[in-house]
Amino acid sequence: MEIKGCSALVTGGASGLGEATVRRLVAAGAKAVIVDRNPDKGELLAKELGDSVVFAEADVSDPEQVQAAVERAMSLAPLRIAVSCAGIGWAQRTIGKDGSPHDLAMFQMVVNVNLIGTFNVMRLAASAMSRTEPLADDERGVIVNTASVAAFDGQIGQISYTASKAGVVGMTLPAARDLAPVGVRVCTIAPGTMDTPMLAMLPDVQRQALVKDVQFPKRLGRADDFASLVEHIARNSYLNGETIRLDGGLRMPPK
């Protein structure tokens, strides 16, 4: 699919993987809506990238806020690309060492943002895409969701995060099948240990420890590695219904 001249909506687009994706798609000729809860970073990035980019403050689990962001994207150009990068994490075991149970409210919050929020964006973006004019092969758009290698190799203390990301993986094929009649593709990227702002706060010793189980190349993933794959998925119209691990061959140990 040709990226130039279309509109892209990117959640979590003000930093990390989302920011790199916005930059990549705009460089390829797309217009973009940065969807994020951080107006300071979002507005700054939109201003830097120029008139083809706008910021929309939104909680991805809020239907009205996401719909407003989708409508902004549609006002720029035909909405053809939606990328969900917004997500949160939480570390807690199912029961603690003292036998206390996992905080149920925190489990629900992680699932609400990472899984329900992703579905909310997908359903609203797909609805908008279904009303666009078809391109070659009757394609109308592509949705790229973000899971994690934790969906397959969840570590100790990652029960809520793993459940949410496994749900994103599980949605991929049925969503692709649901949306095939309207020409909208769905793929998921499952990143490994990526050098995001969250990891940048760790000491170098801990950052290097994260690299030891990566096979090759022996480094943390870069945000542009993710953005490059998003661009490839958008351009390659035969990629559909697939979850792609982006992890340098990493298989995560129990802890």
Domains of the chain with CATH codes: 7-244 (3.40.50.720)
What are residue 9's DSSP bridge partners?
A: 33, 82
pLDDT below 70 — which residues of the chain?
A: 198, 201-203, 206
pLDDT, residue 188, reads: 98
Q: Quote the pLDDT of residue 192.
A: 94
Strand order in the sheet with 242-246: 53-57, 31-36, 7-11, 79-84, 141-146, 184-191, 242-246
Task: Supply the pLDDT for residue 201.
Answer: 63
How many whole angstroms separate alpha carbon 112 and alpha carbon 62?
10
- pLDDT at residue 255, rounded to an integer: 79
Catalytic residue numbers? 161
Q: Please report the pLDDT score of residue 251 as a whole number.
A: 93
Burial of 250 (0-12, 13-18, 19+ CB in 10 A): buried
State how far the alpha carbon of 40 is from the alpha carbons of 36, 62, 94, 254, in Å.
10, 20, 36, 37
pTM confidence score:
0.96
